[in-house]
Amino acid sequence: MQDVTIHLENRPGALAEMGAALGDAGISIEGGGAWLDGHAGIAHFLFVDGEAARAVLERAGIRVTQVREVIVQRLRQAVPGQLGQLTRHMADAGVNIEVLYSDHDNQLILVVDDPVKGRAVSLAWAAQA
């Protein structure tokens, strides 16, 4: 799975055009979100093949700035404090979380500055659960 950073124009229809381009190419979004940062639209969406999504979006004239590997972590939803515990372990290991969202399967998606170290922290944390 890969996170794709997408820049969208702040206007009606920009997100719809992005979705249509991906849909027409048969590419599904697996999770993510979009919001405004000042006056610019920014989106982080999850794809099975981020490079394929990038190619489709760029052909449609949509700016993509990054395709990055993600850490996928399932939290135990019935246990309060899961997010705080996991992110504390990441911080204690010196891993900076740059992007966080959920996928369509209720899993936590993390984009971190050090994926190797972040994956090790994630695996160790999950083994304790």
pLDDT at 129 over 70: no
**Which residues are 32's β-sheet partners?**
45
Q: Read off the pLDDT of residues 8-19 as tens digits, 9 standing for 90 and up.
A: 999 999 999 999
Q: Right CATH number for 71-128 from 3.30.160, 2.40.128, 3.40.50, 3.30.70?
A: 3.30.70
15 and 52 in contact (C-beta within 8 Å)?
Answer: no
CATH number of 2-69: 3.30.70.260
Could you give the 3-state DSSP secondary structure of residue 110?
Answer: strand
Q: How far apart are CA 4 and CA 14, in angstroms?
A: 16
Note the pLDDT of residue 127.
87
Same fold, 2-69 and 71-128: yes
Domain residue spans of the chain = 2-69, 71-128
Q: Read off the pLDDT of residues 37-96 as tens digits, 9 standing for 90 and up.
A: 888 899 999 999 999 999 999 999 999 999 999 999 998 888 899 999 999 999 999 999
